[in-house]
């Protein structure tokens, strides 16, 4: 994304993006542009839809409930969605919002809530999770919104891993692992498709940990000598993965 457009608001939209296309935004996005940001006719915004790259658009009307836009030019070509899979035991509401946003900013392509023995919540508001991913994607200038999946149990995830994720290795953030640097274990995965799994506040149960450690595709790693909060561990794990074998090139 050219930094020249960095100051412009970015909106994730559904319709196709092509030169000269016109579109009218829904109520929420119109209110955000016209009322909150006080954008008026002639002002510019950046649109992306996960398929057609990023486009510069101009307000044709600034009606608070139905802003009309005309597309001007493409300013970034579409790049493939990240292949980094992020699995986590969902946390309580505001921490959950935070984790979804951070996973998006850190470049997760798939966000998979995983229900484990000590997971605190069992019913997730999927729309809320998606809204958090969209908001984070708009802010951090990615061109695709991560695919936020509906929750499944750890057993179901592991039972279906071989078919769903054939060649993907699963990095397990395991707080019981002896404190060590994850650099070596993660470096060994260079060039491979990877996922990362973060447990709940209460950690993984002994049964869960022993099953995970018995699986050939699981790569347990330590995130250092301190016990991190689950949302801290999320950012720490994603950061080391992106820095060592990911897209922080
Ligand atoms: N059982 C402890 C730890 C849970 S921390 C407790 O009850 O407080 C939540 C999750 O963050 C863990 O399941 C693990 O996935 C991750 N995590 C936290 N600290 C870690 C560390 N030092 N190394 C690896 N993973 C860690």
DSSP 227: P
Q: Which atom of ligand 1 is nearest to the CA of 223?
A: 23
Q: From ligand 1's centre to the CA of 177, what distance in Å?
A: 10
CA distance 161 to 146: 19
One-character DSSP codes across 20-39? T-EEE--HHHHIIIIIIS--
CA distance 181 to 134: 33
CATH of region 3-76: 2.40.240.20
CA distance 97 to 41: 33
Q: From ligand 1's centre to the CA of 208, what distance in Å?
A: 14
Identify the pLDDT of residue 122. 74
**Would you place residue 199 in the very low, low, confident or very high pLDDT band (cuts 50, 70, 90)?**
very high
Q: Check whether 159 has a pLDDT greater than 80.
A: yes
- Helix (H, G, I), strand (E, B), or coil: what is residue 148? strand
Identify the pLDDT of residue 166. 87
Q: Which of 176, 185, 203 to mutate to test the pocket of ligand 1 (most atoms within 8 A of CB)?
A: 203
Report pLDDT digits (tens) over 6-25.
889 999 999 999 999 999 99
One-character DSSP codes across 44-92? EEEEE-SSS-EEEEEEEE--TT--EEEEEEEEE---PPP--EEEE----
Q: Does domain 85-244 have CATH number 3.40.1280.10?
A: yes
CA distance 232 to 175: 12
Query: Could you tell me if 56 and 44 are in contact, meaning their C-beta atoms sit under 8 angstroms apart?
Result: yes
Identify the pLDDT of residue 123. 86
Q: From ligand 1's centre to the CA of 175, what distance in Å?
A: 4
Q: Which helix (H) or strand (E) holds 238?
A: helix 230-244
Tokens of 148: 């936020």
CATH topology identical between 3-76 and 85-244: no
Single pTM value for the model: 0.94
Q: From ligand 1's centre to the CA of 126, what distance in Å?
A: 25
Q: From ligand 1's centre to the CA of 180, what distance in Å?
A: 14
Mean of the per-residue pLDDT values for the chain? 95
**Residues in the ligand 1 pocket, defined by CB under 6 Å:** 173-175, 198-199, 201-204, 222-224, 226-228, 230, 233
Q: From ligand 1's centre to the CA of 85, what distance in Å?
A: 19
**Would you place residue 3 in the very low, low, confident or very high pLDDT band (cuts 50, 70, 90)?**
low
Among 149, 162, 165, 160, CA closest to 114: 149
Identify the pLDDT of residue 1. 52
Domain boundaries, the chain: 3-76, 85-244
Q: Which of 95, 196, 227 to mutate to test the pocket of ligand 1 (most atoms within 8 A of CB)?
A: 227
| CA 19 to chain CA centroid, nearest Å | 29
**Would you place residue 145 in the very low, low, confident or very high pLDDT band (cuts 50, 70, 90)?**
very high
């Amino acid at each position: 994304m050219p930094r020249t457009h960095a100051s412009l608001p970015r909106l994730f939209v559904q319709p196709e993006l092509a030169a000269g296309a016109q579109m009218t935004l829904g109520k929420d996005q119109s209110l955000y542009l016209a009322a909150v940001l006080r954008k008026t006719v002639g002002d510019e915004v950046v649109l992306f839809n996960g398929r057609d790259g990023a486009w510069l658009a101009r307000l044709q009307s600034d009606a608070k409930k139905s802003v009309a836009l005309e597309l001007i030019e493409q300013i970034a070509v579409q790049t493939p969605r990240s292949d980094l899979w992020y699995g986590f035991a969902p946390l309580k509401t505001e921490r959950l919002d935070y984790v979804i946003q951070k996973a998006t900013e850190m470049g997760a392509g798939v966000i998979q809530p995983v229900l484990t023995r000590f997971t605190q919540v069992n019913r997730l508001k999927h729309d809320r999770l998606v809204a958090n991913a969209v908001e984070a994607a708009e802010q951090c200038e990615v061109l695709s919104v991560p695919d936020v999946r509906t929750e499944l149990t750890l057993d179901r995830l592991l039972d279906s891993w071989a078919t769903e994720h054939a060649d993907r290795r699963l990095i397990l953030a395991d707080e019981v692992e002896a404190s060590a640097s994850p650099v070596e274990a993660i470096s060994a995965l260079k060039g491979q498709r990877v996922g990362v799994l973060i447990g709940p506040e209460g950690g993984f149960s002994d049964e869960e940990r022993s099953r995970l450690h018995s699986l050939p595709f699981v790569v347990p790693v330590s995130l250092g000598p301190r016990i991190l909060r689950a949302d801290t561990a999320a950012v720490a794990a994603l950061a080391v993965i992106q820095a060592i074998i990911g897209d922080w090139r």
